[in-house]
Structure 1
Amino acid sequence: MSTFGQEQDGPVTAPADLCAVVLAAGLGTRLRPLTMLRPKALVPIGNVPLLDRALARLAEVGLTGPDRVAVNAHWLGAQIADHVGDRAHLSVEEEPLGTAGALGNLRDWIAGRGVLVLNADAYVGVTGPADLGALLAGWDGDRVRMHGVKAGKPDPFHGYNFAGASLLPAAAVSVLPDKPRELARTTWRPAEQSGRLDVIPLTGLYLDCGTPADYLAANLHAARGENLFGAGVVLTGQATGSVLGDGARVDGTVQDCVLWPGAYVAPDEHLHRMIRVGRDLTVPAA
């Protein structure tokens, strides 16, 4: 049996018999109309798509490439496929299979390994050892683990709400069906009830980016109170504490806003806590 997540003269890295699955098949209904244009996994946070942030987090613990990392897709799946390319194994679902069914559908690819499951829509305000390294450290491969933040929502686990990342032993993964099922019912609650669930507190900010308010909050956290400019931004007006995507143009005023690539703000517009796409789509954070 492998020793999981032990630190040896440096950062924690994943062992050879652990793989990762990034869950990116969600419909993103609460984030519409933004997710009518892009799948939630590809909406930009600080000018970086959420999926790229997830892949970068996995890379920090040595999980990269299509043999070690898989991404599932459903809604606007062609966009996910084009974006992933050869960076990960792609699993396209004809119907949404949920968090557990997605793993059952990947049984052949998983091939008896343990799995680090990562929600693509998870934004965290920590990096390095405090992030996935903390989840891996000291894990023996037999217990179920999850990142958690102090409960502020219903149905916590040991007083913590799930924070977007979980470690599943190979034995727990092997019994998951390739049908619509959720890990909360198939794996996490049973593990909690039998005393086999460990919650590893996640320090710092965690947001699931599921609503316009949380999506804006994640972007403003990434900007850290300053303007964050993409390539080719034109600013003839005024911007304060905002994220401006590639090719955006501001002739008016924006404060605490997110502008998607190519967005335009006219001279007579004054946007506050808004998300602007193109010239006409404006989504309030409230």
Structure 2
Amino acid sequence: MQAVVLVGGEGTRLRPLTLETPKPMIPVMNMPFLERTLRRLKEAGIEDVILPAGYLPEAITSHFGDGSSLGLRVRYVIEETPLGTAGALKNVADFITGPFFVLNGDVLTSLDLRAMLAAHREKGGLGTLHLIRVDDPSAFGCVVHDPDGRISAFVEKPERDKAPTNEVNAGTYLLEREVLDAIPAGRPVSIERETFPQLIAAGRPLYGYTTDDYWIDLGKPEAYLGAHRNVFDGVMPLGLTPDIDGPGRESVPTTAIRPPVFIGNGCAVDSSAVIGPYTVLGDGCSVGAGAVVADSLLWDRVTVDAGARVDAAIVASRARIGAGARIAHGSVIGHDAVIEPGTHVEENARIVAVD
């Protein structure tokens, strides 16, 4: 069994975080999200992985190499221009030898891949699509199927009161290799909007596999923050220790902790600071006297000076929050940005470092 993880997107909705870091490499509890995905594949018995990469590929290739450090065989196909979901698959066709999983590189889910494989083998279709029920399907692609799971239609972003179902495409597929024959080469192709509907129209059997697993698209800052809260609360299981976790948890003064928190290696936190709740400190972070970091994600080597406050924000690596500064709810601070002392950054601001 092989897997293709689609990692070519530019992550425009997450900017400025993705100006330097490709979206699949944004950290989730201080580990690149793509690494968590690859480890999950390994746990499911899938050891041959193809990564069609396009945006900042060197950040991915340099981190994972040939995959041997994770017990995997990882190969890369670099896209010169974006090819879409199906186009990316066609572009790696020479590496595919049989049935294969396809995973979107920005979806965090607790889906049991072994169980999905068993369901696929039982149905015997050309492909199996993971589906999730949502309250409001209007922002997604609805998937209509019969009681046996055979898919009959795809309805893209219907009006809420006109949606034929609340089951939506959750971005994990298990496909037979012959699906690749239905994808034209040399141009961008969407598997959701073009390939799957064409297969259905031709009478080829695709099946839905509906579960109640955790699932979220990390592509927006609010979703990225929310996913960490879900992990802290145990809604998305990552095996964390309750209240306080991380390799640096014993180095931070207990007086500063308001659990749950995750503390990276080599952090320096003043005993009068407040860290948490729902806060992640990346490796090498520094938090000064009287500073408060709550409901926030700090990447590696972020400095928060004395008396500063960071609320429900994301701060990328090597940024500095000056003394007495205030970072309001929903703000995203880019790599190497410097917030001058006493500055008040408004809600939902996007701050990019200035050369």
Q: Which among 115, 123, 139 is matched to residue 100 of structure 2?
A: 115
Aligned residue identity for 2:107: A
Q: Which among 215, 225, 229 is matched to residue 206 of structure 1?
A: 215
Aligned residue identity for 1:134: A
Matches within 5 A, 1:1-286: 18-64=1-47, 68-87=48-67, 88-111=74-97, 113-124=98-109, 126=110, 130-140=111-121, 141-151=124-134, 152-154=136-138, 155-158=141-144, 159=165, 160-178=167-185, 179-192=187-200, 194=203, 196-224=205-233, 226-236=260-270, 237-240=273-276, 241-251=278-288, 252-277=291-316, 278-280=318-320, 284=331, 286=348
1:155-184 deviation digits (Å, cap 9, x = unpaired): 311232222211111111233233211111
> Does the 8 Å CA contact 1:157/1:192 hold for their aligned counterparts?
no
1:201-256 deviation digits (Å, cap 9, x = unpaired): 23232111110001111122223361011111222111112011111122211111
Higher deviation after alignment, 266-275 or 185-194: 185-194
**Could you tell me how far 1:280 is from its partner in structure 2?**
4.2
**Could you tell me how far 1:195 is from its partner in structure 2?**
7.1
> Does the 8 Å CA contact 2:182/2:195 hold for their aligned counterparts?
no
> Does the 8 Å CA contact 1:115/1:167 hold for their aligned counterparts?
yes
Aligned residue identity for 1:265: V
**Could you tell me how far 1:98 is from its partner in structure 2?**
1.1
Aligned residue identity for 1:271: V
Higher deviation after alignment, 226-235 or 167-176: 167-176
Instruction: Provide the alpha-carbon RMSD of the alignment.
Output: 2.0
Quote the Cα distance in structure 1 between the aligned partners of 2:93 and 2:208: 25
1:65-84 deviation digits (Å, cap 9, x = unpaired): xxx21011111111111122
What secondary structure sits across from 1:90 in the alignment? strand
Q: Which runs of 5+ in 2 are unaligned?
A: 68-73, 145-164, 234-258, 322-326, 333-347, 349-355
**Could you tell me how far 1:271 is from its partner in structure 2?**
1.2
Using a 3 Å threshold, how does the CA distance of structure 1 residues 261 and 163 change in structure 2: closer, same or farther?
A: same
Using a 3 Å threshold, how does the CA distance of structure 1 residues 232 and 192 change in structure 2: closer, same or farther?
A: farther
Quote the Cα distance in structure 1 between the aligned partners of 2:143 and 2:320: 42
Q: Which runs of 5+ in 1 are unaligned?
A: 1-17
Aligned residue identity for 1:136: L
Look at both structures and tell me which one has the larger radius of gyration over its CA atoms. 2
Quote the Cα distance in structure 1 between the aligned partners of 2:264 and 2:210: 33
Quote the Cα distance in structure 1 between the aligned partners of 2:183 and 2:94: 12
Quote the Cα distance in structure 2 between the aligned partners of 1:142 and 1:114: 11
What secondary structure sits across from 1:157 in the alignment? strand
State the TM-score, normalized to the length of structure 1.
0.85
What secondary structure sits across from 2:265 in the alignment? coil
Q: Which has the higher contact order (CA 8 A, sep 6+)?
A: 1
Partner of 1:3: none
Quote the Cα distance in structure 1 between the aligned partners of 2:229 and 2:286: 19
> Does the 8 Å CA contact 1:234/1:248 hold for their aligned counterparts?
yes
Aligned length: 261
Quote the Cα distance in structure 2 between the aligned partners of 1:58 and 1:78: 22
Percent sequence identity over matched residues?
Answer: 33
Aligned residue identity for 2:269: L
What secondary structure sits across from 1:139 in the alignment? helix
Aligned residue identity for 1:55: L
**Could you tell me how far 1:134 is from its partner in structure 2?**
2.5
Higher deviation after alignment, 31-40 or 232-241: 232-241
Quote the Cα distance in structure 2 between the aligned partners of 1:196 and 1:233: 53
